[in-house]
Structure 1
Amino acid sequence: MSKKRNQCQKRRKRKQTGQTAHASLAGFAPLIESKGIFDKIHQQVEIPQKEIIYRPTDKLIFVVLGLFVGCEHIDEINHRLRPDKVLLSGFGYDSCADQSVIQDTLDGCVDANVIQLKGVLRSLYVEHNQSQALVREAIEQSLTATIDMDLTGRPVSENAQGAKKGYFSKKRGIYGRQLARVLMPDTQEIIAEELYPGNRLSCQVFIEMLGEMEQGLSLDTKEKRQRVCLRLDGGFGTDKNINHALWKGYQLLAKMFSGNRARVLAQSVQQWVDVDADGKGTRQAGWVTKTHRYGRKTRQLAVRKPNPKKKSGFNYVVLVITDMTRDMLTLLRSYDARSGVPESTFCQDNQGLAQRKLRKHHFVAQQMLMLLSQLAHNLCRWLKQWMISALVAKDKMEQSARLMIACQRAETQQQSISSEAIRLTISSIEQRGIRRWVRQLFALDGVIVIKKGVVTSHPLNANYPLISRFQLAFETLLKPVGVRVRLAKT
Structure 2
Amino acid sequence: MNKSIIDTTNHFSPAASLAAIGVKLRQLDLFGPIRAQVQIKQKTVKHAPIDKLTDAFISLLAGAHGLVEINTRLRADPGLQHAFGRAACAEQSVVQETLDACMPENVSQLHQALDEIYRSHSQGFRHDYQAGSQLLDVDLTGMPCGPKAAFATKGYFAGLYHRRGRQLGRVLATRYEEVVVDQLFAGNVQLIKALQPLVEAAEATLQLDEAKRRRTIIRVDAGAGTEDDLNWLLARGYEIMAKEYSGRRIARLCKTVNEWIQDPNWSERSFGWVSEPATGYIRPVQRIAVRCRRIDGTFAYGILIFSLEIQQVLTMLGWQAAQASDSVAVLLAYVTFYDQRGGGIETAFKGDKQGLGLTKRRKKRFEAQHMLVLLGSLAHNVVVWARQWLSCHKIQHYGPLRMVRDVFHVSGLLRFDVSGAVAEIVLNQQACLAHSLLHPLQSLLTPLHVVVTLGET
Alignment TM-score > 0.5, same fold:
yes
Structure 1 residues 253-290: Cα deviation after superposition (integer angstroms, max 9, x where no partner): 11010121011112222111111355xx6112111111
3-state SS in 2 of match to 1:72: coil
Aligned counterparts of 1:98 and 1:466: Cα–Cα separation in 2: 31
Alignment-mate amino acid for residue 431 of structure 2: Y
C-alpha contact 1:161 1:361 (8 A) present in aligned 2: yes
Alignment-mate amino acid for residue 162 of structure 1: F
TM-fit CA distance, 1:347: 1.3
Tell me whether 1:285 sits opposite 2:252 in the alignment: no
TM-fit CA distance, 1:204: 0.5
* Corresponding residue for residue 327 of structure 2: none
Change (3 A) 1:473 1:174: same
Tell me whether 1:111 sits opposite 2:104 in the alignment: yes
* Corresponding residue for residue 242 of structure 1: 230
Aligned counterparts of 2:112 and 2:154: Cα–Cα separation in 1: 31
Match of 2:122 among 126, 129, 132: 129
* Corresponding residue for residue 363 of structure 2: 360
TM-fit CA distance, 1:23: 1.2
Match of 2:198 among 209, 223, 239: 209
C-alpha contact 1:59 1:105 (8 A) present in aligned 2: yes
C-alpha contact 1:92 1:453 (8 A) present in aligned 2: no
Aligned counterparts of 1:94 and 1:233: Cα–Cα separation in 2: 46
TM-fit CA distance, 1:315: 2.2
Aligned counterparts of 2:378 and 2:225: Cα–Cα separation in 1: 29
C-alpha contact 1:90 1:453 (8 A) present in aligned 2: no
Tell me the number of residue pairs that the alignment of Structure 1 and Structure 2 aligns: 437
C-alpha contact 1:28 1:478 (8 A) present in aligned 2: no
Match of 1:486 among 447, 453, 457: 453
C-alpha contact 1:33 1:39 (8 A) present in aligned 2: no
Aligned counterparts of 1:217 and 1:155: Cα–Cα separation in 2: 30
C-alpha contact 1:90 1:450 (8 A) present in aligned 2: no
Match of 2:331 among 328, 333, 337: 328
TM-fit CA distance, 1:93: 2.5
Tell me whether 1:170 sits opposite 2:159 in the alignment: yes
Change (3 A) 1:489 1:178: closer
Structure 1 residues 328-370: Cα deviation after superposition (integer angstroms, max 9, x where no partner): 1111111111123222111111111111101100000000000
TM-fit CA distance, 1:385: 1.5
* Corresponding residue for residue 295 of structure 1: 282
* Corresponding residue for residue 270 of structure 1: 258
TM-fit CA distance, 1:69: 1.6
3-state SS in 2 of match to 1:140: coil
3-state SS in 1 of match to 2:126: helix
TM-fit CA distance, 1:31: 1.3
Counting aligned pairs with the same residue, the percent is 35
Aligned counterparts of 1:204 and 1:306: Cα–Cα separation in 2: 31
Alignment-mate amino acid for residue 275 of structure 2: T
Alignment-mate amino acid for residue 219 of structure 1: L
TM-fit CA distance, 1:9: 5.8
* Corresponding residue for residue 148 of structure 1: 137
Change (3 A) 1:126 1:467: same
Alignment-mate amino acid for residue 82 of structure 1: R
* Corresponding residue for residue 422 of structure 2: 455
Match of 1:49 among 42, 60, 66: 42
C-alpha contact 1:276 1:282 (8 A) present in aligned 2: no
Alignment-mate amino acid for residue 437 of structure 1: M
* Corresponding residue for residue 444 of structure 1: 410
Alignment-mate amino acid for residue 475 of structure 1: Q
C-alpha contact 1:265 1:291 (8 A) present in aligned 2: no
Alignment-mate amino acid for residue 458 of structure 1: I
C-alpha contact 1:10 1:94 (8 A) present in aligned 2: no
Aligned counterparts of 2:357 and 2:2: Cα–Cα separation in 1: 32
Change (3 A) 1:166 1:453: same
Tell me which moved more, 164-173 or 9-18. Answer: 9-18
Structure 1 residues 457-479: Cα deviation after superposition (integer angstroms, max 9, x where no partner): 10100012242221111111111
C-alpha contact 2:64 2:357 (8 A) present in aligned 1: yes
* Corresponding residue for residue 347 of structure 2: 344
* Corresponding residue for residue 29 of structure 1: 22
C-alpha contact 1:298 1:320 (8 A) present in aligned 2: yes
* Corresponding residue for residue 315 of structure 2: none
Aligned counterparts of 2:243 and 2:361: Cα–Cα separation in 1: 32
* Corresponding residue for residue 381 of structure 1: 384
Aligned counterparts of 1:76 and 1:12: Cα–Cα separation in 2: 22
3-state SS in 2 of match to 1:460: strand
Alignment-mate amino acid for residue 351 of structure 1: Q
TM-fit CA distance, 1:307: 4.4
Aligned counterparts of 1:92 and 1:427: Cα–Cα separation in 2: 29
* Corresponding residue for residue 430 of structure 1: 396
Alignment-mate amino acid for residue 211 of structure 1: E
Tell me whether 1:100 sits opposite 2:93 in the alignment: yes
Change (3 A) 1:276 1:215: farther
Aligned counterparts of 1:308 and 1:466: Cα–Cα separation in 2: 43
* Corresponding residue for residue 304 of structure 1: 291
* Corresponding residue for residue 171 of structure 2: 182
Match of 1:467 among 396, 414, 434: 434
Note the residue ranges of structure 1 that are not aligned, 5 or more in a row.
1-7, 389-425
3-state SS in 1 of match to 2:393: helix
TM-fit CA distance, 1:309: 6.7
3-state SS in 1 of match to 2:242: strand
Aligned counterparts of 1:9 and 1:318: Cα–Cα separation in 2: 61
Bigger Cα Rg:
1
Tell me whether 1:315 sits opposite 2:300 in the alignment: yes
Aligned counterparts of 1:465 and 1:36: Cα–Cα separation in 2: 30
Aligned counterparts of 1:118 and 1:188: Cα–Cα separation in 2: 19
Tell me which moved more, 300-309 or 453-462. Answer: 300-309
Match of 1:256 among 229, 233, 244: 244
Alignment-mate amino acid for residue 45 of structure 2: I
